[in-house]
C-alpha cells in the first residue's frame, strides 16, 4: 500500500519528499488541506524549510491528498506514536536495537520477543521501521529492565539478525 501511495508522486520528487515526511511523522491532512497533528496545525512553511522545498510544494501535495479519496482516507486517519527509544535509558528501561539482514523477512519480531521473554523481561514497546520510508530499518525493543549480556548473544543467533545494539 505504501508503495502505491509513493507511486502517485513518483513524477514529482519534491512532493514525494513531503509525502515521506508526513508519513514518517504520522501527520494528518485535514479537510482544509492543512498538515496537522491531531488538531495542531503544522505550518507548511516549516515543513518546506525542513525539506528544503518551496512552501507551494507542501500546499500542492496536501491539496492532492485531499482531492484523492483513497489518499484522503489514509492521511486523515494516520497517527504518530510516542517512541521511548531515546528516553528509555533515562527512565531505567532497556533498549535493544536489531538490524535485520532483510526487513521484509517474517517472524523476526516474534523470535526476538520470545528470546526477550525467555530472560523474564517484559517488553514495554516494540517499534519496527517501515522499509519503505527508512533506508536502514531497525527493530527497537524497549524492555522493563536492563539487558543481560547473554541475551545479546542469543539474539545474534536468531536467523535474519545482522546486528544487535544495546543501550
Q: Work out the percent of the chain whose per-residue pLDDT is above 90.
A: 83
Give mean pLDDT, residues 143-148.
94
pLDDT tens per residue, range 65-88:
999 999 999 999 999 899 999 999
Which band of pLDDT confidence, cut at 50, 70 and 90, is reported for residue 156? very high
pLDDT tens per residue, range 90-129:
999 999 999 999 988 899 999 999 999 999 999 999 999 8
Sign of CA dihedral 113, 98, 83, 14: negative
Please say whether the structural domain 94-166 has been given the CATH code 3.30.70.100: no
CB 16 within 8 A of CB 4: no
Specify the pLDDT at position 130: 83
Distances from the Cα of 36 to the Cαs of 67, 73, 77, 167, in angstroms?
17, 14, 11, 33
pLDDT tens per residue, range 3-42:
788 788 889 999 999 998 998 899 999 999 999 999 999 9
Among residues 166, 137, 161, 129, which one has the least CA distance to residue 151?
A: 166
| Statement: residue 1 has pLDDT above 80 | no
Q: What is the pTM of this model?
A: 0.80
Among residues 90, 89, 101, 102, which one has the least CA distance to residue 147?
A: 89
Burial of 116 (0-12, 13-18, 19+ CB in 10 A): buried
Give mean pLDDT, residues 49-60.
98
| Statement: residue 133 has pLDDT above 80 | no
Amino acid at each position: 500500500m505504501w508503495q502505491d501511495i509513493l507511486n502517485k508522486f513518483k513524477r514529482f520528487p519534491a512532493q514525494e519528499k513531503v509525502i515521506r515526511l508526513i508519513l514518517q511523522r504520522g501527520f494528518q491532512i485535514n479537510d482544509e488541506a492543512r498538515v496537522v497533528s491531531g488538531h495542531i496545525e503544522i505550518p507548511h512553511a516549516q515543513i518546506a524549510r525542513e525539506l528544503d522545498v518551496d512552501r507551494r510544494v507542501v500546499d500542492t501535495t496536501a491539496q492532492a491528498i485531499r482531492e484523492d479519496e483513497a489518499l484522503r482516507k489514509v492521511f486523515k486517519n494516520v497517527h504518530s506514536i510516542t517512541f521511548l527509544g531515546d528516553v528509555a535509558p533515562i527512565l531505567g528501561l532497556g533498549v535493544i536495537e536489531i538490524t535485520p539482514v532483510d526487513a521484509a523477512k517474517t517472524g523476526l519480531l516474534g523470535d526476538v520477543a520470545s528470546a526477550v521473554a525467555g530472560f523474564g523481561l517484559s517488553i514495554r514497546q516494540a517499534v519496527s521501521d517501515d522499509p519503505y520510508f527508512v533506508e536502514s530499518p531497525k527493530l527497537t525493543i524497549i524492555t522493563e529492565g536492563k539487558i543481560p549480556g547473554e541475551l545479546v548473544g542469543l539474539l545474534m543467533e536468531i536467523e535474519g539478525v545482522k546486528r544487535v545494539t544495546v543501550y
